[in-house]
Structures are given as C-alpha cells and as structure tokens.
Amino acid sequence: MLALALALPFGLAACGGEEDAAPVAETVEGTLPVETVEESPAAGIEGDAAAGESVFAANGCGGCHTLEAAGASGNIGPNLDESQPDLELVVERVTNGAGAMPAYGDQLEPKQIADVAAYVVESTQG
C-alpha cells in the first residue's frame, strides 16, 4: 500500500504535468493522396459462369474461400456464400487483390476474370 501511495504522485505527474506540450498544427496545407485502383479490363466483359467454375478450381480459389457450389471450404479469405459479393467487387478483387488475397490481373486473361466473377456471383446470389 505504501508503494502505491509513493508511486501515485509520479504517475500523475507523468500524465498531466505542467510541462509545455508541443504545438499542433490547426490546418493542413496541400492535398492528401487519393488511392487509385486501376479498372480491370474484365470490367466490360460478360462472363460465362460455367467457364468460371473451372477458373475457380484451376486457380485454387477454394483453398482460401468457402463456396458451396464449388465444394470449397477455405477459411483464409471471405466466405463467399455469406458475403455474396457483387460482380464489380469480385472483378476488382480478383484483378487487384486486397489484404491477403494476391492480384490475379497479371496471371489471368480478362475473360477468365469475368468468367470467375460471373461464377461466384451466380453461385452466391442465384
């Protein structure tokens, strides 16, 4: 108890002593960088869900993602059955990657990206 009583004044002094604080700028001049994501060439292509099923299987998508239609139960990436991503999001994520997901824009043809996106959307949203 004595140790606490002796330590308390020092702890309080460290938290809010009467020392001057460094000045903080009130305004920021200039602009903040804007994150740009390049639109996928697959964005304008109509995908074929049947062809997308083979793209999903051949590229190991089920190793990370759960998708009942593919018999996949990966648990590293989002559960696609639960998240039900829209077409635009699937195309963007497959093309550019995000978080732990690698980008496949340099590995897959735009038509393959459109196909796998169509497969995921059709499988999760009917």
Q: What is the DSSP string of 74-116?
A: --SS--HHHH---HHHHHHHHHH-BTTBPP-TTTS-HHHHHHH
Residue 38 lies in a domain: no
Residue range of the domain that includes 63: 59-125
Confidence class for position 4, pLDDT limits 50, 70, 90:
very low
Average pLDDT rounded to a whole number, residues 106-113: 97
Give the chain's domain count: 1
pTM of the model: 0.69
Inside any domain, residue 85: yes
In a domain, 73, yes or no: yes
Task: With cut-offs at 50, 70 and 90, classify the pLDDT of residue 1.
Answer: low
Residues 102, 105, 111, 112, Cα dihedral to 10° = -30
Strand partners for 101: 98
CATH of the domain at 109: 1.10.760.10
Question: For the segment 36-93, what is each residue's pLDDT rounded down to a tens digit?
Answer: 656 777 888 899 999 999 999 999 999 999 999 999 999 999 999 999 999 999 999 9
Domain membership flag for residue 87: yes
Residue 36 lies in a domain: no
